[in-house]
Amino acid sequence: MLTYTLRIELLEIAPPIFRRVSVPASITLAQLHKVIQIAMGWENSHIYLFEIGRDRYGEGLSEWNAFGQRVLNAKRTTLQDVASRRGPRFLYTYDTGDGWDHEIKVEAIAAAPSGKIRCLEGKRNCPPEDCGGPYGYQELLEKLFDPTHSEHQEIKEWAGDFFPGTFSLEAVNRRLARLKAGA
């Protein structure tokens, strides 16, 4: 069974927020979306798009087509169909309103006995959902870490126990282990 090692990095954020995951080559893009959601820490409450070459892949095709955009079915396209060689990069956008763009790079393709989905590495916590994209996230951090800011307490209550420097590989892999192959 072939396995892909992918590096997923959230764009327009410094310092970098990334995950390195191992997934079977036969995973559909819809399944890869779920892996990215878990690995990054998103809540899967918004639409997504993969942009690979000139093609776009997603779900909710009637909605996209209503806006005149040609979007192919992510449930019917496997990773190996669109990223068959080492090195290609492609884009994954989550929450098109906030514009969370992720660059996905195929780092390796290798034979693996299990084809198990797992996170190999990661850095930093994913931004809180619905904070306004990269620019809103920067504003959130400024308010969160400036106790003299007029909105500090409000943002602190909204963000809860969020801390940007944390990442738990073990917690991500526990959640990924619950992801069914056909989910």
> Sheet containing 2-10: which strands, arranged edge to edge?
72-73, 55-58, 48-52, 89-94, 100-111, 2-10, 17-24, 118-123
Give the model confidence (pLDDT) of 125-180 as tens digits: 999 999 999 999 999 999 999 999 999 999 999 998 899 999 999 999 999 999 86
Range of the domain at 79: 2-127+165-177
Contact 46, 94 (CB under 8 A): yes
Q: Specify whether 69 is located in the same domain as 141.
A: no
Q: What is the pLDDT of residue 125?
A: 96
Q: How far from chain centre, in Å, is Cα 67?
A: 24
Q: What is the pLDDT of residue 179?
A: 83
Q: Specify whether 113 is located in the same domain as 138.
A: no
Give the model confidence (pLDDT) of 21-53 as tens digits: 999 999 999 999 999 999 999 999 999 999 998
Answer yes or no: is 141 within a domain. Answer: yes
Q: Specify whether 69 is located in the same domain as 27.
A: yes
Contact 19, 8 (CB under 8 A): yes
Q: Specify whether 115 is located in the same domain as 153.
A: no
Q: What pTM did the predictor assign?
A: 0.91
